[in-house]
Amino acid sequence: MSDYLVEVTDDTFEQEVLKSDKPVLVDFWAEWCRPCKQLTPLIEAVAEKYDGKAKFLKLNVDDSNLTGQRYGIKGIPTLIVFKNGAESERVVGTTSKENISRMIDRALG
């Protein structure tokens, strides 16, 4: 992925997301999803801005479908912000860098 955007799987989700002491944005995506790929550079830019304050992870729903099912992912891309191990905000479909930043700001506030 990148220095700021890391892959998470069914096996690592609990440790990386639910047990995190920082807010976590998870990008549920798939390799074949063009909007998902278009969203990645926006997420990376926001992740760089919030480096050290929040975590930014990608979960491939084709490779890790148990977590996708657990959170009711019906369409991708889906971005979910987790705070203290619980979902705090969700957006389905593409969104702007500004909206992603606002989601993180709310989780940090």
What pTM did the predictor assign? 0.96
Indicate the Cα dihedral angle 21, 93, 100, 3, nearest 10°.
Answer: 60
Across residues 57-75, what is the average pLDDT? 97
Q: Which domain holds residue 57?
A: 6-108
Band (54; pLDDT cuts 50, 70, 90): very high
Q: Which residues contact 91 (CB under 8 A, 6 or more apart)?
A: 78, 79, 99, 103
Residue 67 resides in a domain: yes
Q: Is residue 84 part of a domain?
A: yes
Per annotation, catalytic residue among 30, 33, 45, 92: 33
Read off the CATH number of the domain in which 81 is found: 3.40.30.10
| Sequence-distant (≥ 6) Cβ neighbours of residue 5 within 8 angstroms | 27, 40, 43, 44, 47, 56, 57, 58
Q: Which of 24, 36, 79, 81 is catalytic?
A: 36
Is 48 a domain residue? yes
36 is catalytic: yes
